[in-house]
Structure 1
Amino acid sequence: MKALESWLGGLPAVILMDLDGTLIDSAADIALALNRALDDLALPPVSERQVRDWVGRGAGRLVEVVLQHVVPHHGDDPQRHVLHEQLLARFMARYQDSVCEASTVYPGVREFIDAAHAAGIRLACVTNKPYQPAVALLRALDLLDDFDLVVGGDTLAHKKPHPEPLLHCLRHFGATPGSALMVGDSRNDVDAAKAAGVVVVAVPYGYNHGEPISDCSPDRLVASLSELI
């Protein structure tokens, strides 16, 4: 981890890592579950490419964008919240049923995690995905045992971009914001880290609702986590 140590002036005690779009490319499975949910409601499908541009702000926001795309004048319908809740519930159920059919670990992630372990750094996964599917996805791709703590979007009262999930991790490890590092791919990650006083590294290959992650002003941008080794 000499590259990371050189940049920070020392190694962090704790690294907090986002899940979807940072560790794991899960867009294909999200698209599969979403299209199955749309079919359940007799609505037309969307493409995986569209889903990749729409994810990054949580499931509720994803469903809202999908409905704007597949249902003409959805925003003008006074009962739009009913359809939104129906599709969101079906999507979450479908995704829970098949969380890892096509998801893969991004290049450089395994090497980075192994290097962090070798350096004695504690690891936490901090995601807005609900806890149960997050754990199932990590387990399916043989990453679960690498993390000392997993915080899901339903673990606490707040989720990213609120700083509470990050502060919760710091309390768990007895760490200070200055001794931690956040790694993520979205504005939620960057804003949560800045609010918590934690340095944040971002990767450009993930999901940020179509917005370049560089526009979110992370402290550092790397093409692959292997650059930090």
Structure 2
Amino acid sequence: MPKILLVDDDIELTELLAELLSLEGFDILVVHNGQEALKELEIQHYDLVLLDVMMPVLNGIETLKQVRQKYDLPVLMLSARDDDIDRVLGLELGADDYLPKPFNDRELIARIKAILRRTKVIKENNVVDIIDDEENDRKLLNFGGVELHPGRQQAIFEGKDLDLTGTEFALLQILMRHPGQILSRELLSIEILGKRLTPYDRAIDMHISNLRKKLPERNDNLPWFKTLRGRGYLLVTDK
């Protein structure tokens, strides 16, 4: 049963969400500020964090900064403020996705399941995905000196872990599986974030930007990605 840490100071909302997520088969623990969340993460492992932005004691943005310094687990940000600055900042700091309040219950469930499937925590039927190491070794991807190990969700360059988030890893993986091929932002949003692209949605763009910062310079001096305005992104080949 996937474990979710829900961090929000809205008592009524957390009670409703805890009941909803429990009925969907998730194990839920609720805390009401970022400081409590950080303490809880030191005690036990969680598969995903639902993190509100506006909270007392320690807000969601500051909490996310500290989470990313220590943990590589998916974070879905929640906020009553549909503010571009908050949304972009959260994505820059490594949030996997962002959902403004009020939101549809089914959309929240869909986003959670998409993130958990992507990080190999659960399959479509909510069963833990047990991965065979030997099989994963055969699926290893290599491009430009970067090795992707799908089973471990790990990207390595010259023996160094690139410390990608689950979303960044999934995005790089799909691009590496289709080198030189244009992948639309709509397709990437559906495949990586489990949602259709909406106007002014910059989540995929921010994850590409984060990848560009984390990836090393290529030996052939080519850029990793090319942005095709109105069309999408491609992984640049030497052809």
Higher helix share: 1
Report the TM-score, using the length of structure 1 for normalisation.
0.33
Report the TM-score, using the length of structure 2 for normalisation.
0.32
